[in-house]
């Protein structure tokens, strides 16, 4: 099983050997370490060099747009190992900041272009910015694929994203009792349109809610989505692994 999005590069993890052993011991054999800043991208690359099971992304999150520098980022991508699987997480976040929309959009578009140049898919962070995200994706398609990570939007928006050929991924938030919308999306989208993640150390799924999350808990996300779709956990994991491999093309 693959955890397609975790932040092993987060400073909350001071015990990475143990975290890696924890997920390997429950059958999670690959994780994608997602980056949100320049320094997190460097650290993700180091972790991918150290641990065979770790793949990674490079990117600047909309919350970190002030440090965005496309040349600096391109140098990192150019010198990356073949375990670099995507550009991300990138996108728009109007929940944390509505004052710098223009800068956020510019950084998002530049990073889509960077991904296209290096034939990589993108990992999108979107918070309270669905309309603008969709508009940018229509005008600047991600030619090698895109995933709306930690999906929490409507079923209608999910269908629009899927109609553009893009994917969704679900985190622990699908397991929360009050997450009616996300559950509805997870029940109603096509088999080939999604995969699973933890976004750890954040968003621990039930029954671990409120604790520091880690990649091994992706199995709880799988159990929940399997229930919602009325299939066995094993079948669901086979499906989402197949989708994740087609998207990230792990080398």
List residues binding Ni ion (CB under 5 A).
Answer: 34, 199
Name which of 34 and 219 has its Cβ closer to Ni ion. Answer: 34
Name which of 34 and 186 has its Cβ closer to Ni ion. Answer: 34
Q: Please, which residues have CB within 8 angstroms of residue 123's CB and are 6 or more apart in sequence?
A: 5, 34, 57, 59, 86, 87, 88, 89, 90, 146, 147, 149
CB of 150 to Ni ion, least distance (A): 6
Name which of 124 and 233 has its Cβ closer to Ni ion. Answer: 124
Name which of 47 and 229 has its Cβ closer to Ni ion. Answer: 47
Q: Count the neighbouring beta carbons within 10 Å of the beta carbon of residue 190.
A: 8
CB of 5 to Ni ion, least distance (A): 6
Partners of 3 in the β-ladder:
31
Minimal CB distance residue for Ni ion: 199
CB of 241 to Ni ion, least distance (A): 20
Report how far Cα 65 is from the mean position of its chain's Cα atoms: 18
Asked whether the beta carbons of 137 and 146 are under 8 A apart, the reply is yes
CB of 34 to Ni ion, least distance (A): 5
**CA proximity to 59, closest of 44, 48, 46, 49:** 44
């Amino acid at each position: 099983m693959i955890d397609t999005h975790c932040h092993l590069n987060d400073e909350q993890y001071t015990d990475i050997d143990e975290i890696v052993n924890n997920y390997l011991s429950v059958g999670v054999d690959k994780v994608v370490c997602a980056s949100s800043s320049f320094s997190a991208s460097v650290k993700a690359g180091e972790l991918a060099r150290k641990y065979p099971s770790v793949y990674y992304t490079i990117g600047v999150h909309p919350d970190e747009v002030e440090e965005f520098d496309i040349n600096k980022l391109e140098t990192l991508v150019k010198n990356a190992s073949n375990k670099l699987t995507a550009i991300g997480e990138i996108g728009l976040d109007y929940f944390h900041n509505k004052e710098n929309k223009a800068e956020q959009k510019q950084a998002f578009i530049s990073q889509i272009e960077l991904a296209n140049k290096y034939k990589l898919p993108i990992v999108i962070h979107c918070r309270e910015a669905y309309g603008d995200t969709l508009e940018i994706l229509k005008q600047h398609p991600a030619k090698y694929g895109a995933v709306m990570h930690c999906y929490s939007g409507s079923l209608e928006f999910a269908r629009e994203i899927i109609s553009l050929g893009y994917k969704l991924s679900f985190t622990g938030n699908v397991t929360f009792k009050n997450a009616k919308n996300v559950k509805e999306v997870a029940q109603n989208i096509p088999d080939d349109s999604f995969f699973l993640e933890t976004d750890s150390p954040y968003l621990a799924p039930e029954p671990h809610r409120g604790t520091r999350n880690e990649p091994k808990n992706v199995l709880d996300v799988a159990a929940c989505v399997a229930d919602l779709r009325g299939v066995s956990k094993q079948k669901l994991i086979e499906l989402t692994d197949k989708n994740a491999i087609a998207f990230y093309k792990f080398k």
